[in-house]
Amino acid sequence: MSAIATTHVGSLVRPTELRPFLLARHHRTPYDEAEFERVLAQCVDDAVRDQVAAGVDIVSDGEFGKTLTWATYIRERLDGFEERPLGDGEPEPQRFGLDRRAFPEFFAEYDRVQFPEGQPERGLEWVCTGPIRYRGQRELRRDIANLRAAAERHGARGAFLPVVAPGSVMPVRRDEFYGTEREFALAVADALRVEYTEIVNAGLYVQIDDAYLTMMHDSMVHAPNAGPETAREFREWAELRISSLNRALEGVPPERVRYHVCWGSWNGPHTGDVPLREILDLILQVNAGSYAIEQANPRHEHEWAVWEDVALPEGKRLIPGVISHATNIVEHPDLVAERLLRNARLVGSDRIDAGTDCGFAQTPFSARVHPSIMWAKLRALAEGARIASKTLGLA
In order along its 395 residues, the chain shows pLDDT tens digits of: 799 999 999 999 999 999 999 989 888 899 999 999 999 999 999 999 999 999 999 999 999 999 888 988 998 999 999 988 876 544 444 456 899 889 999 988 988 887 665 555 556 788 999 999 999 999 999 999 999 999 999 999 999 999 999 999 988 889 999 999 999 999 999 999 999 999 999 999 999 999 999 999 999 998 888 888 899 999 999 999 999 999 999 999 999 999 999 998 888 899 999 999 999 999 999 999 999 999 999 999 999 999 999 999 999 999 999 999 999 999 999 999 999 999 999 999 999 999 999 999 988 888 889 999 999 999 999 999 999 999 999 97
Phi, psi for residue 11 in degrees, rounded to 5:
-75, 130
Q: Looking at beta carbons, which pairs linking 155-159 to residues 24 or more positions away fall under 8 Å?
A: 155/52, 156/48, 156/51, 156/52, 156/56, 156/57, 156/58, 156/59, 157/5, 157/57, 157/58, 158/5, 158/57, 158/58, 158/59, 158/204, 158/205, 159/48, 159/58, 159/59, 159/60, 159/61, 159/204, 159/205
Interatomic CA distance for residues 142 and 147, integer angstroms: 9
Residues 321, 283: Cα–Cα separation, whole Å: 15
Query: Distance (Å, rounded) from C-alpha 296 to C-alpha 97?
Result: 22
Percent of the chain that is helix, strand, coil (3-state, to 5)? 45, 15, 40
* Strands 158-164, 355-356: pairing kind: unpaired
Concatenated DSSP letters of 298-341:
TTTGGGGGGGGTSPPPTT-EEEEEEE-SS-SSPPPHHHHHHHHH
CATH class (in words) of the domain with range 19-392: alpha beta
List residues bridging with 79 in a β-sheet. 133
Measured in degrees and rounded to the nearest 5, phi and psi for residue 209 equal -95, 130
What's the pLDDT tens digit per position in 171-200? 888 999 999 999 999 999 999 999 999 999
Task: In whole angstroms, give the CA distance from residue 26 to residue 178.
Answer: 29
What distance in Å separates the CA atoms of residue 86 and residue 179, rounded to the nearest whole number? 23
How high is the pLDDT of residue 93? 47
Per the DSSP assignment, residues forming a β-bridge with 281 are none
Looking at the chain, list the stretches that DSSP marks H as alpha helix, in order from N- to C-terminal side.
19-27, 33-54, 98-102, 104-114, 137-154, 181-201, 212-221, 230-248, 276-283, 333-347, 371-392
pTM for the complete prediction? Answer: 0.95
Q: Which residue type does 156 have?
A: A
Alpha-carbon distance of 38 to 312, in angstroms, equals 43
Burial 193-220 (b: 16+ CB within 10 A, else e): bbbbbbbbebebbbbbbbbbbbbbbbbb
Neighbours of 290 (CB within 10 A): 25
In the chain, domain spans: 19-392
Angstrom distance (rounded) from CA 336 to CA 357: 12
* Residue 369 contacts residue 20 (beta carbons within 8 Å): no
pLDDT number for residue 113: 80
Instruction: Name the strand (E) or helix (H) holding 393.
Output: none
Question: What pLDDT digit, counting tens, does each position of 66-110 carry?
Answer: 988 898 899 899 999 998 887 654 444 445 689 988 999 998 898
Rounded to whole angstroms, the Cα distance separating 39 from 21 reads 9
